[in-house]
Structure 1
């Protein structure tokens, strides 16, 4: 009888034993699956629990380079935009408040969309100075999680819910460069028109809002030239209007 009782205790194990035996969560892969589930209109309750209970030290360890950081945080940004606005579209009526509200629970820490975009993905850039001024006092957690170097291509991957936003892609770490390059190419091609007679190019206003991220006007023209959208960098720049109409079905697979 004592032997059976002892075996029963072993089979149950202590709480500490069970925790140690658990396999660490792959947060990057989970973020990809999260976006895919949202694209397929599946229930994401379990994903939300995983992110809420994430170990921030493990997350920081897994996001060792900018490729990993961008993959994870772009998926988180896009995924939570979809999830939150599907629950309550009226939140989008006050966009300023919506983006600044801390409503994303990652590792028992509340984040705002502004935290993720301007703090982590743009390396603590101030959101109102066109990419030419850093935030003065970023938090220690922001400094720990943020990218080492700004990558302008994030602007063609982040989807804030507006019709003019780039489509939502489930970014995968193994396909990161291919997907981000394709997203950039496709978005710029769709939103750029060159008028030969006027020698003028009309393109996305994202370039204007974050011009410092792109290297200013010279950098913008260089990007458009490299994408084959203008014949030379000696052109006049004009920016398209941005359509803020809510669109929660703007998806693309790459």
Structure 2
């Protein structure tokens, strides 16, 4: 009888201990707001504050943690545009000579994030443009994107990101800090400002001189007809009838610290 009572007591004690362990584990677990982290990343760059701890956090997080944190396209777009723009500033401020060979610069794997080392091209074309082939003009997707890309890419392409990504050049859009709640309005405002700044329309010849982005990523914009509709939407041209497009040369002069509030 004493043996049975002792055994019962041990079972109850063990059960109590197991019940108490679960809440303790939950209390010590932490969840990172990666959108907020990306916003702080850019804010620190803008204010001249050190960003090494943020870069370490991004490098040491797991693919699963990042995927679970970015569940909507609004979150994905805001995070990845901020990350792209932040690392352009960080890397080129330290190594402006990298811009001498831009093809190598954008394709080089040099950004540590979620256990991988990725390139600017992978972030832009693989994640933000949903696995588009870099040389496909926006008409051809990659055949076999890897797991990192598949897990983290957006669900739907949005042409407005071309007026938000800052590649470090003078003709690039300025750097804004994007948030998931406001990103739709921010992208609209940023697109309007960029297109009005970079476009010229001759009402007599009906020729609109526009950024080369419309040519390089024509499929993203819906071709020439889509580009003209976009220009009409943002009041760059009065209508699309009879309008011809002329693509301007892109000014690749290095121009950092070009921030704007949207």
TM over 0.5: yes
How far does the alpha carbon of each residue in 1:65-114 deviate from its partner, in whole angstroms, 9 at most, with x for none? Answer: 11111000000100001001111111111111111111111122111000
Equivalents in 2 of 1:116, 1:184: separation in Å? 20
| 1:25 CA drift (Å) | 1.0
Equivalents in 2 of 1:135, 1:107: separation in Å? 22
1:218 corresponding residue in structure 2: 225
Q: Across the two proteins, how many residue pairs are aligned to each other?
A: 239
Structure 2 vs 1, CA of residues 249 and 136 (structure 1 numbering), >3 Å: closer, same or farther?
A: same
1:68 corresponding residue in structure 2: 75
1:235-250 mapped onto 2 (5 Å cutoff)? 235-250=243-258
| 1:179 CA drift (Å) | 1.1
Structure 2 vs 1, CA of residues 71 and 26 (structure 1 numbering), >3 Å: closer, same or farther?
A: same
Pick aligned residue for 1:163 from 167, 170, 183:
170
CA contact (8 A) 2:87 2:111 kept: yes
Equivalents in 1 of 2:246, 2:176: separation in Å? 28
Equivalents in 1 of 2:147, 2:59: separation in Å? 20
Equivalents in 2 of 1:19, 1:56: separation in Å? 21
Structure 2: gaps (5+ residues): 1-23
Equivalents in 2 of 1:38, 1:130: separation in Å? 32
Structure 1: gaps (5+ residues): 1-16
1:1-254 mapped onto 2 (5 Å cutoff)? 21-234=28-241, 235-254=243-262
Q: CA RMSD in A?
A: 1.5
| 1:135 CA drift (Å) | 1.0
**Secondary structure in 1 matching 2:181:** helix
Equivalents in 2 of 1:107, 1:142: separation in Å? 12
| 1:244 CA drift (Å) | 0.3
Runs of at least 4 residues off by over 2 Å? 17-20
CA contact (8 A) 2:74 2:181 kept: no
| 1:228 CA drift (Å) | 1.1
How far does the alpha carbon of each residue in 1:209-241 deviate from its partner, in whole angstroms, 9 at most, with x for none? Answer: 000000001100000011111111120101111
Equivalents in 2 of 1:51, 1:195: separation in Å? 47
Q: Which is higher, the Rg of structure 1 or of structure 2?
A: 2
CA contact (8 A) 2:177 2:261 kept: yes
Equivalents in 2 of 1:31, 1:18: separation in Å? 27
Equivalents in 2 of 1:243, 1:22: separation in Å? 48
**Secondary structure in 2 matching 1:74:** helix
